Structure 1
Amino acid sequence: MTTIASAPPRFSRRQRMTMLVLLAAAFVFAADYSILNVALPEVGAGVGLGLTGLPWIVSAYTLPAAGFMLLFGRMADLFGRRRLFLSGIVLLAGASLLGGFAVNPEMLLAARALQGTATAMAVPAALSLITTSFTEGGMRERALGLNGAILSGGFTAGALIGGTLVSLLSWRAAFFINIPIAAAILVVTPLLIKESRIPERVKLDVPGAVAMTGGLLAVVYAILEKSIIWGAVGAALLIAFWMIEVRSPAPLVPVRFLKQPNVKWGNYAGLVIFSMETGMIFLMTLYLQNVLDFSPVATGLTFGVPGLAAIAAGPIAGRILGRYNSRTVLTLGLALQGLLILPLAFLSTNRLALLVLIPALFIGFFVHVTCIVSYTVVGTSGLPNEEQGLATGLASMTQQVALTIGAPIMVSIAATQSVELTGLQLALGVNVAVTLASSALIWVGLRTRGGDSQTTVTEAPAAKETGQPMAASLD
């Protein structure tokens, strides 16, 4: 008897519209991260911010984005995902308006901090709306694949859009462009997405929330400022947070949640994926401009053309994950990310090195996005819907922290050598070693007792029988 393979599941019209709204928001927040990076001198001059203060235009955004992600992710579970998502969009519009009219450094940095806070509110809420709207398996993996493609496209487009707006109009346009998009999202979202189910008698674990948020903010600040004192303060607060959660009857982040292999190893993978790739890109920027003497425009094109592969990778990654288990895709992808950086450690001062660099970046960016989708799937799988905001908040926080620490770590390693090219080669070699070793650790860490490498998925009986989301956010 011949068995006919069933067609892959397809999104309904309403699901496609919902994904369009959530992906539009993801694109805006991804672009917001990088949109001002290419225009820092113009922005600083526009508000009277000196050269030494320019890094704070980025840091003012990064600090709250990383520090508040986990808190707001959990609040989305407890008080409503759609509510947190829309609140973040409203805050983004207000912050962008403030930034566009900024006349001094205080207004500008306040706007960037509010944009970072809006990111922390909306991003995990939007991601949890995706994971709870589609059951684990092919549908969710396709959705997360599209999300990964949009994130990569947003980061790339942010730099291009920022440069174009500054050249044609003004740096203020980089803020104002968010407002009409935010307004459209605010109008359409209530028509398509229902509020998530809210647990009865919700009580926020205030001591845990204060200790966790304070600890994360202190740690990220310590990384940005290279401060041992703030690092110690952050570590002490995070230890206090753990002790509070162990004893709390209603913990903000249950300890059993953090101990789950898919959560623990999935987020460790995310930390390595983003920090090592971000560090590599920064090192290659130094290589292109300081060693090969490229202009900023030529450097941007060198990264931009291979970046097209990253945009195409997301949907393909979702299909790959539908065919092979996430443990295999994640660890193999991470190993490939490291191996594709390896030839970059042997680049010379000859511009013929581009014949190696550009193909390596092209394939490497494709693999990198596959890794991003894989770690998101691993870190959010096998969990009940009421913990999806927590899971996506943790995954988003991991990404923000990794983006913050990648470049400083690699630059610190490179600075140990007196010759710049030698230092870049050493740092890239360390990058490869850390990535490959982490791939092996994650492979072992995700291994189940029975030897099954597939992530365990717990579904409600009705969801198994009907294929509908366990607590769908759609009509």
Structure 2
Amino acid sequence: MTTLMATAAEAAAPAERSRNRWLALTILALAQFLVVLDASIVNIALPSLGAGLGLDHNLLTWVITAYVLPFGGLLMLGGRLADRYGHRRVFLAGVSGFIVASLAAGLSLNGPMLLMARAVQGASAALLAPAALALLMQLFPATDGRAKALGIWGAVAGLGSVAGVLLGGVLTASIGWSAIFFINVPVGLLVLAAIPALLSRDVVRSRARLDLWGAITITLGVVALVAAASMVLEAGFLSPVTLGLGAAGVALLGLFAVIELHSPEPLVSFSIFANRSVTLGNLVVLLIGGAVVGLFFVLSLHMQNVLGYDAMLTGLTQLPLALALIAAAGVLPPLMAKVGSAPTLAASLVVLAGGLVWLALAPVDADFVLHLLGPTIIIGAALGGAFVAGTELAVQRVTEADSGLASGLVNTSQQIGGALGLAVLFTLATTLTNSLGAGGANEIAALAGGYSAAYLGAAGLALLGALIAAFATRK
């Protein structure tokens, strides 16, 4: 009888973490919005930032890389730290670090100071992102509103990606490049003040020693893989640096697996992959990340280099996509609750592939309303469904004790997929552009052809994800 009562109390515990869980979700989503926003808002401001701090092209790329590397590399560790030492505690630590680093980035007087601040931003984001998703899972058990909560979460994440392009242009043009970092401070302070009042204190689960060597090898391994993908854009797939980083990443991840199998307190318990939904869901999230990051990067170049739009207009043209994404993320959860996350995910990815193919067929002198508005709306709606259903599939039937680990896995899959997808799709676009005569009289047509190839490549990733999701529906 005592065991039954304890089990019932544990099952009820997640819902009791907050008396106003929807408001708590809003604040958590706001923090996630900052993380996604900060990964994209810098792109538009890079020229102004480089002129202000005297950074050349090579150092400018590190303004992005300095954030992405610690973020992607530390997500697994951040998720496990949240499981061990408390999800609310680790989340608040991540938000605090993000605020301080954002303030330092905006006040930077030189390149090294900015790069160090960006690295701390990425490390802080790696703490708060998996902890925030784990808190969502605790606030909303699988049978009690989780689909709707993930709909809001997915809409906010998608909005952050698009808002970064628009806000980056507006803030840089009106105030200056430092504003793209200062905007994080008041929002972060709001989150920091609200969460302690909305969420109950953590119960520390374990004071066992942290798997230090496992943490080191997984972090360095993921960093090496993301760095290798980043180097593809500068040096190509076959450069010694790219191949060396890739080989180091694979070797470190192999060593990590050996360490975990022999560790009494592993950082990652491989038993979580016995959950078929977790394994297949993360594979699909990886492919979605590759398609989405590559799409937004190439779409921005397409608008500016082929159609001649400025940064502000480029951001405005992505608003329909963002609105469609938000609408789909709000509408699809009830349907997902009826038919399941895997069928919803498969259907969303098929629609996404169709929208990308339609986009690839746009003429060189495309009119936005006639040729681009339709496919971007289709793509936005499909992404809304894919984000929500993919996350739901990847965290299905995960225990509360492993919620941080599962959240770290989802975020890591998305980051690695984004880095690899960007490298592959941009290389595909560049290769075809060069073969069509880049730099010649038909340069615009060559660029358009290369971007169309990238869209078709993203469609292929979406279809592969749909096949995996369809396989997940089998008993």
Same fold (TM over 0.5): yes
Looking at structure 2, the residues matched to 199 and 306 of structure 1 have their Cα atoms a distance apart, in angstroms, of 42
Looking at structure 2, the residues matched to 272 and 231 of structure 1 have their Cα atoms a distance apart, in angstroms, of 19
Looking at structure 2, the residues matched to 200 and 180 of structure 1 have their Cα atoms a distance apart, in angstroms, of 34
1:404 aligns with 2:419: yes
- Matching residue of 2:61: 55
Identify which range, 394-403 or 88-97, moves more after superposition. 394-403
- Matching residue of 2:39: 33
1:23 aligns with 2:59: no
- Matching residue of 2:442: none
Any stretches of 5+ residues in structure 1 without a counterpart? 1-8, 449-475
Residues 254 and 110 of structure 1: CA distance in aligned 2, closer, same or farther (over 3 Å): same
Residue 319 (structure 1) shift? 2.2
Q: Is the 8 A contact 1:138 1:319 kept in 2?
A: no
- Aligned to 2:337, which of 292, 297, 322? 322
Q: Matches of residues 142-291 of structure 1 in structure 2 within 5 Å?
A: 142-226=148-232, 227-291=242-306
- Matching residue of 1:360: 375
Q: Is the 8 A contact 2:44 2:311 kept in 1?
A: no
* Aligned pairs, number: 439
Looking at structure 2, the residues matched to 168 and 426 of structure 1 have their Cα atoms a distance apart, in angstroms, of 36
Q: Matches of residues 337-352 of structure 1 in structure 2 within 5 Å?
A: 337-352=352-367
> CA-to-partner distance for each residue in 1:133-169, whole Å, 9 max, x for gaps?
1110351111111111111222222232222222222
Looking at structure 2, the residues matched to 269 and 79 of structure 1 have their Cα atoms a distance apart, in angstroms, of 29
1:87 aligns with 2:93: yes
> CA-to-partner distance for each residue in 1:64-92, whole Å, 9 max, x for gaps?
11110111001100111011100001101
More helix by share: 2
Task: Quote the sequence identity (%).
Answer: 34
- Matching residue of 2:470: 443
> CA-to-partner distance for each residue in 1:248-271, whole Å, 9 max, x for gaps?
222111112134211111011111
Identify which range, 29-38 or 238-247, moves more after superposition. 29-38
Secondary structure of 2:318's counterpart equals helix
Looking at structure 1, the residues matched to 408 and 365 of structure 2 have their Cα atoms a distance apart, in angstroms, of 44
Looking at structure 2, the residues matched to 285 and 229 of structure 1 have their Cα atoms a distance apart, in angstroms, of 31
- Matching residue of 1:423: 450
Secondary structure of 1:416's counterpart equals helix
Quote the RMSD (CA, aligned, Å): 2.0
Q: Is the 8 A contact 1:138 1:318 kept in 2?
A: no
Residue 351 (structure 1) shift? 2.2
Looking at structure 2, the residues matched to 408 and 389 of structure 1 have their Cα atoms a distance apart, in angstroms, of 29
Looking at structure 1, the residues matched to 324 and 32 of structure 2 have their Cα atoms a distance apart, in angstroms, of 19
Any stretches of 5+ residues in structure 2 without a counterpart? 1-14, 233-241, 437-445
Q: Normalization by structure 2: what TM-score?
A: 0.88
Q: Normalization by structure 1: what TM-score?
A: 0.88
> CA-to-partner distance for each residue in 1:118-137, whole Å, 9 max, x for gaps?
11010110110000111103
Looking at structure 2, the residues matched to 71 and 415 of structure 1 have their Cα atoms a distance apart, in angstroms, of 35
Q: Matches of residues 85-164 of structure 1 in structure 2 within 5 Å?
A: 85-164=91-170
Residues 45 and 388 of structure 1: CA distance in aligned 2, closer, same or farther (over 3 Å): same
Looking at structure 1, the residues matched to 184 and 326 of structure 2 have their Cα atoms a distance apart, in angstroms, of 21
Residue 12 (structure 1) shift? 8.6
Q: Is the 8 A contact 1:314 1:373 kept in 2?
A: yes
Q: Kindly provide the amino acid, as one letter, of the partner of residue 414 in structure 1.
A: A
Q: Kindly provide the amino acid, as one letter, of the partner of residue 428 in structure 1.
A: Y
Looking at structure 2, the residues matched to 177 and 296 of structure 1 have their Cα atoms a distance apart, in angstroms, of 19
1:76 aligns with 2:89: no
Looking at structure 2, the residues matched to 292 and 162 of structure 1 have their Cα atoms a distance apart, in angstroms, of 20
- Matching residue of 2:459: 432
Looking at structure 1, the residues matched to 44 and 77 of structure 2 have their Cα atoms a distance apart, in angstroms, of 30
Residues 93 and 353 of structure 1: CA distance in aligned 2, closer, same or farther (over 3 Å): closer
Residue 223 (structure 1) shift? 1.1
Residues 438 and 182 of structure 1: CA distance in aligned 2, closer, same or farther (over 3 Å): closer
Secondary structure of 2:145's counterpart equals helix
- Matching residue of 2:52: 46
Residue 354 (structure 1) shift? 4.8
Q: Kindly provide the amino acid, as one letter, of the partner of residue 200 in structure 2.
A: K
Looking at structure 1, the residues matched to 192 and 452 of structure 2 have their Cα atoms a distance apart, in angstroms, of 48
Secondary structure of 1:251's counterpart equals coil
Q: Is the 8 A contact 1:205 1:251 kept in 2?
A: yes
Residue 353 (structure 1) shift? 6.8
Q: Kindly provide the amino acid, as one letter, of the partner of residue 429 in structure 1.
A: L
Q: Is the 8 A contact 2:36 2:160 kept in 1?
A: yes
Q: Matches of residues 369-380 of structure 1 in structure 2 within 5 Å?
A: 369-380=384-395
Q: Is the 8 A contact 2:148 2:330 kept in 1?
A: yes
